[in-house]
Amino acid sequence: MSQPVRVFFSYSHEDDRHRVALTKHLRLLERQGLIESWFDRKILPGENWDEAIQRELERAEVVLFLVSSHFMNSEYCYGVEVKRAMERHETGEAVVVPIIVKAYDWHSALFGKLVALPTDGKAVTSWSNRDEAWTDVAKGLRRLIEDFDRAKVSKPKVVISTEPDPTGYLEALDSKCSWVKLQGMGAKVADRLPLDRIYTRLRVRGDGRGEERGKVRKDEFGLDPRGRAEEDLSLAQILQEHSSAVLVGDPGSGKTTFLTFAAQKLARGCLEIEKGELEPALGITGDPPFPIFVRLNELADFLAENPENGCPAEAPEHLLRFLDYKLTGGLHGLPEGYLRNRLQEGGCFVLLDGLDEVPASVRARIASLVDQTVAELQGKNRFLLTCRTRAYEGVAYLGTLQTFTLADFGPQEVESFVFRSRLVPSPASRRSRAA
């Protein structure tokens, strides 16, 4: 075998001891150069764990599901990893193998028709000798890997089209943007919740950059008892009137959540999963623009590690180089220059998240780089940048884009968000208990 087969472990951290046991039983396959295993414990400190998982899942040739009640109840394992892995399994890009760790009624799951290990799908924990169970798993995987290599050599290559197909990229973006982190409010760790469940439509102050309005006595929770001001506008209205904009707001006001929502809607629009959703959600009519999501702190890190190579510090070329980097190694089956070419051709919606998260020492440079990129490419594309209000003032100001300030949540929206996040009982349940 010329190269080891890349094996991805999908498992719940509740079952980490079982993942360790399996890893030990597959060690001989690694030493013989047959496999190269990856699991999330290999993510480096400071690395974006979600992007690392998505990257390795896309590169994997074999995906192992360590099935248990913990795995099946994990929103991320089942909702993200299983969904994407099965999509790749169906298209022949990868092979999925369920490994039944603990007894569970899994036959109606997305992977329910696949042959599982150990033999006959008997759960590992049901064996009187677990080493025998893991040995059975290892032998089954060895047979797969040996056959897998022969299939790779003998399988003919069929070229369907010379045009790159962005379906994998769009599906990965849709999957990634289906979940958001919920932090604070008494939570010890960040919860990952479905975006569709907690998304609350945001509104924008009608006074441009949001100069202070008249003083209003707020209630005990710091909220304006009048609710929203009449002049506040929906984000769909703003995006319908402005092809590009800067969106500023206080911490926790929903800036990143909105960009995530926009990326998901655009990806689904391009995939034709949701038709007619872009106009009410984003004010976009006609064909959906192609989404490109950029975290500006990652752009800054990339530029720190990759010098200018003779280009001016604020040249748009640096953003294009970063887009090439995001597709390193043919990620999603696309050539490295794919996003660059799409952006230069036009018809893209570039979502630039978190200018405030860029180190203050280079924030002005990143802002100038974005400003010049927008000036050069805005006629053919759309841009939306988010930043905290204070960080945007002064050094980070962009002259090419009009700025809008997110309006504060009103009491009804706060209650709706808290209820939908299941942090408190619904108003109806509170009334029923009170009765």
* 430 assigned to some structural domain: no
Q: For 94-117, write each residue's pLDDT tens digit.
A: 999 999 999 999 999 999 999 999
Q: What is the CATH number of the domain that holds 197?
A: 3.40.50.300
In this prediction, residue 383 carries a pLDDT of 94
* pLDDT of 2 above 90: no
- Of 121, 154, 187, which residue constitutes the final position of a domain? 154
Tens of pLDDT, residue by residue over 21-77, are 999 999 999 999 899 999 999 988 888 888 889 899 998 999 999 999 999 999 889
User: Could you tell me the CATH number of the domain that includes residue 92?
Assistant: 3.40.50.10140
Kindly state whether residues 10 and 98 are assigned to the same domain.
Answer: yes
The yes-or-no verdict on residue 352 having pLDDT over 80 is yes
Q: How far apart are CA 270 and CA 166, in angstroms?
A: 9
Strand order of the β-sheet with 403-405 is 290-295, 348-353, 382-388, 245-249, 403-405
Q: How confident is the model at residue 206 (pLDDT cuts 50, 70, 90)?
A: low
DSSP, res 353:
E
**Same domain as 128, residue 177:** no
> Is 426 among the domain residues?
no
241-265 per-position pLDDT tens digit = 888 889 888 887 788 888 888 899 9
Is residue 18 in a domain? yes
- Whether residues 212 and 171 share a domain: the answer is yes
| pLDDT of amino acid 131 | 95
Q: At 123, phi and psi to the nearest 5? A: -60, 140
User: What are the structure tokens assigned to 353, written together?
Assistant: 């998240």
Q: Same domain for 107 and 177?
A: no
How confident is residue 235, by pLDDT bands cut at 50, 70 and 90?
confident
Structure tokens at 403: 């700025």
Q: How far apart are CA 298 and CA 306, in angstroms?
A: 12
Residue spans of alpha helices (H) in 74-128: 75-76, 83-90
pTM of the full structure: 0.59
pLDDT in tens, 377-424: 888 899 999 998 888 876 666 777 888 888 876 655 555 555 555 544
Residues 150 and 188 in one domain: no
Tell me the pLDDT tens digit for each residue of 306-329: 876 667 777 888 899 899 888 876
> Does 202 reside within a domain?
yes
How does the average pLDDT of the chain come out, rounded? 80
| Statement to judge: residues 135 and 173 lie in one domain | no
pLDDT of residue 182: 58
CA 274, distance to chain mean position in Å, is 18
The answer to whether residue 301 is domain-embedded is: yes
**Can you tell me which residue has the tokens 């399994």?**
89
Do residues 222 and 291 both lie within one domain?
yes
Q: Are residues 248 and 111 in the same domain?
A: no
Q: Which amino acid is at 237?
A: Q
Helix (H) or strand (E) holding 66: strand 62-67
Compare 178 and 360 and report the one with higher pLDDT: 360
Q: Flag whether 233 is in a domain.
A: yes
CA 85 to chain centre: 15
Domains in the chain, number? 2
Of 119, 154, 189, the position where a domain reaches its end is 154
| Spatial CA neighbour of 116 closest among 124, 295, 208 | 124
Residues 21 and 63 both lie in one domain:
yes
Last residue of a domain, one of 107, 123, 154: 154
Indicate whether 337 and 199 sit together in one domain: yes
160, part of any domain? no
Question: Which range marks the domain in which residue 55 is found?
Answer: 5-154
159 domain-assigned: no
Residue 284 reports pLDDT greater than 80: yes
For residues 234 and 194, state if they share a domain.
yes
- 191, 336: one domain: yes
Under 8 Å CB-to-CB from 88, ≥6 apart: which residues?
Answer: 58, 60, 63, 94, 96
Q: What's the pLDDT at 222?
A: 40
pLDDT over 70 at 226, yes or no = no
Residue 365 has pLDDT above 60, yes or no: yes
